[in-house]
Amino acid sequence: MSRILIEHGTVVTASGTVAADVLVEGEKIAALLQEGTGYPSGGEGLDRIDATGKLVVPGGIDVHTHMEMPFGGSFSSDTFATGTEAAAWGGTTTIVDFAIQPRGGSARQGLETWMSRAEGQCAIDYGFHLILSDVTDEVLEEMQGLVRDGITSYKLFMAYPGVFYSDDGQILRVMQTAAACGATVMMHAENGIAIDVLVRQALEAGQRDPRMHGETRPSALEGEATHRAIILAQVAGCPLYIVHLSAAEALAEVVQARDRGQAVSAETCPQYLFLDESLMAEPDFEGAKYVCSPPIRAEAHRRALWQGIQTGDLSVVATDHCPFCFKGQKELGRGDFTKIPNGLPVVEHRMDLIYQGVVSGRITPERWVELTSTAPARLFGMYPQKGTLLPGADADLVIYDPSRSHDLGAATHHMAVDYSVFEGLSITGAVDTVISRGTVLLSNGVYRGHPNHGRFVPRNRYSGPAIPTGVPGTGRS
Ligand code: URP
Ligand code: ZN
Ligand code: ZN
């Protein structure tokens, strides 16, 4: 069995910071030792890593990625192989990607397709949520068995009519089923029916540039959909997770629901914390590089989101990594913004970007770990196997150097995409070493991972905050 002792570092978890050595045996954390204790029984076969001056944190967990995702006749440009390697470079050791139920097909069929894409390809561990794109009686019946197989979260769309869209009745039925089998519903909360009207009107008026993507998806329609999703979840008594929250109005709905004790949580993504809507108006079709849904928004929304991160009303930062190359993919939308594939390349930069919140004093190092690792593990049934450095947990670790700086950009990133939305952004801090289940994937700038290392992670049922019972308006008594 391999043994690694990570010495002289500062161990940061969501619950505190301590000077300690971390002992890894095989694939697991064996112990946190008082600094300088040395190895308990001699030291044969022991690899030592000196983490002096560095932070030792649980590996990042990104619960929102789309590798090889079909969209508008194209596929997102990162495969499971390239995308998970890029994630590892950035200190993420687990992703949860989205399998998609084909319209007219079964949910199990969707899962099997994505499982076969990922198997033997992933540099890091991976799990799946399921996108339900065609809610039928048969699909509801399938959910129980899928939950037993570790697929404990289901994404629905209030956007994209005719593609992924579910109506309120379908949403309610999935939520009732999820409540009964211990699953979580994840919601893409934008009012797609209203958005489609605005889109048609824009096209009829000859407004076809990328910036119209943002103008036809106003924040109020994200707020409205978030409200509706929350009420439907309340009626069903189902835990709800709002994905890629970008708007102050949507956050206000989440805050209200949480304040009355409802099991609602939300994630935001680095693009909504760092990028301004004006980027979508860049000339020569460059604005297409920033097209994602919901769209990146104005400064006031970013301020609200950072506040939500500080107050705890936003629980998770994931990436919604869904890259499309500018050449040949984003370009499909020249002359018609509705044809621009939606999504941005982010998976490699999440840990660095959110660490800037520590650098600026907005959040503590513990909160950084909580947002990027511990909370996602807890909310999606992976804790304490992942998301912590407790003895017995998977030895997924990052040694992070707070004193190194680097700039982000397409020339140096590892994502399979020909541009960066964070081009030239200066980062204080850098990933130094990445360990996944006891295997060193990255050290001293040398990548040593391989695509056959990552394993499928079956996830447990929802065990987050209690679902209120006996609350008027809920289906639960
Ligand atoms: O623009 C985005 N977000 N693309 C990925 C699909 C989704 O809705 O998450
Ligand atoms: Zn979405
Ligand atoms: Zn997504």
Mean pLDDT for the chain?
96
Q: Which atom of ligand 1 is nearest to the CA of 293?
A: 1
Asked if the 59-379 domain carries CATH number 3.20.20.140, the reply is yes
Which residue's CA is the closest to the ligand 1 atom numbered 3?
Answer: 293
Q: What is the mean pLDDT of residues 438-455?
A: 97
| pLDDT, tens only, 33-79 | 998 776 766 667 899 999 999 999 999 999 999 999 998 788 999 99
Under a CB-based contact definition with an 8 Å cutoff, are residues 456 and 114 in contact?
no
pLDDT score for 398: 98
Rounded percentage of the chain residues whose pLDDT exceeds 90: 93
pLDDT score for 72: 79
CA 156 to ligand 3 center in whole angstroms:
11
Which residue's CA is the closest to the ligand 1 atom numbered 5?
Answer: 343
Q: pLDDT-derived band of residue 472, with 50, 70 and 90 as boundaries?
A: low
Whether the CB of 188 sits within 6 Å of ligand 1 = yes
CA 347 to ligand 1 center in whole angstroms:
13
Look at residue 476 and tell me whether its pLDDT is greater than 60. no
Which residue's CA is the closest to the ligand 1 atom numbered 2?
Answer: 343
Whether the CB of 342 sits within 6 Å of ligand 1 = yes
| pLDDT, tens only, 103-128 | 999 999 999 999 999 999 999 999 99
Token pair 């999504």: residue: 343
With a threshold of 0.95, does the pTM exceed it?
A: yes
Taking CA atoms, 277 is separated from 124, 214, 245, in Å, by: 33, 7, 15
CA 17 to ligand 2 center in whole angstroms:
35
pLDDT score for 324: 98
Can you say whether the dihedral through the CA atoms of 460, 67, 386, 120 is positive or negative?
positive
pLDDT score for 42: 63
Q: Determine the 3-state secondary structure of 176 from DSSP.
A: helix
Q: pLDDT-derived band of residue 465, with 50, 70 and 90 as boundaries?
A: low
pLDDT score for 36: 75
| pLDDT, tens only, 379-429 | 999 999 999 999 999 999 999 999 999 999 999 999 999 999 999 999 999
Amino acid occupying residue 13: T
E strands present in 378-457: 397-407, 426-436, 439-443, 446-447
> How are beta strands 397-407 and 426-436 bridged, if at all?
antiparallel
CA 141 to ligand 1 center in whole angstroms:
27
CA 361 to ligand 2 center in whole angstroms:
30
Look at residue 288 and tell me whether its pLDDT is greater than 90. yes
pLDDT score for 41: 63
Whether the CB of 345 sits within 6 Å of ligand 1 = no
Q: How far apart are CA 155 and CA 99, in angstroms?
A: 10
Under a CB-based contact definition with an 8 Å cutoff, are residues 61 and 400 in contact?
no
pLDDT score for 473: 53
Mutate-to-test residue for ligand 1 from 272, 292, 337, highest number of ligand atoms within 8 A of CB: 292
| pLDDT, tens only, 9-28 | 999 999 999 999 999 999 99
pLDDT score for 467: 63
| pLDDT, tens only, 24-46 | 999 999 999 998 776 766 667 89
pLDDT score for 35: 81
Q: How far apart are CA 353 and CA 330, in angstroms?
A: 24
Both structure tokens of 308: 């939500």
Look at residue 463 and tell me whether its pLDDT is greater than 80. no
pLDDT score for 45: 82
Under a CB-based contact definition with an 8 Å cutoff, are residues 455 and 102 in contact?
no
| pLDDT, tens only, 144-202 | 999 999 999 999 999 999 999 999 999 999 999 999 999 999 999 999 999 999 999 99
Look at residue 440 and tell me whether its pLDDT is greater than 60. yes
| pLDDT, tens only, 225-235 | 999 999 999 99
Q: Which atom of ligand 1 is nearest to the CA of 64?
A: 9
Whether the CB of 322 sits within 6 Å of ligand 1 = yes
pLDDT score for 464: 67
Q: How far apart are CA 467 and CA 174, in angstroms?
A: 16
Consecutive H or E run containing 24:
strand 16-25
Which residue's CA is the closest to the ligand 1 atom numbered 9?
Answer: 320
CA 317 to ligand 2 center in whole angstroms:
14
CA 154 to ligand 2 center in whole angstroms:
12
